[in-house]
Amino acid sequence: MQEWDEVEIQTVSDGLDASPRELHASFEITGDHLAEVRDRHTMMLVASGELPESHIAEIAPERRLDWMIEELNGRKFSDGLSIPLHGADDSIIELSRGEIEGHSILRLKVGSDFERKLPLPKDIESIDATLEDGILNVRW
Reported confidence tier of residue 15, pLDDT bands at 50, 70, 90: low
137 or 24, higher pLDDT: 137
Q: Which helix (H) or strand (E) holds 87?
A: none
Model pTM score: 0.56
3 state DSSP class of 67: helix
Question: What's the CA gap between 128 and 140, in Å, rounded?
Answer: 6
Average pLDDT, the chain: 79
Question: What's the CA gap between 52 and 14, in Å, rounded?
Answer: 37
Q: What percent of the chain has pLDDT over 70?
A: 81
64 or 92, higher pLDDT: 92
Report which of 75, 64, 80, 77 is spatially closest to residue 116, judged by C-alpha positions. 64
Reported confidence tier of residue 122, pLDDT bands at 50, 70, 90: confident
Identify the pLDDT of residue 1.
58
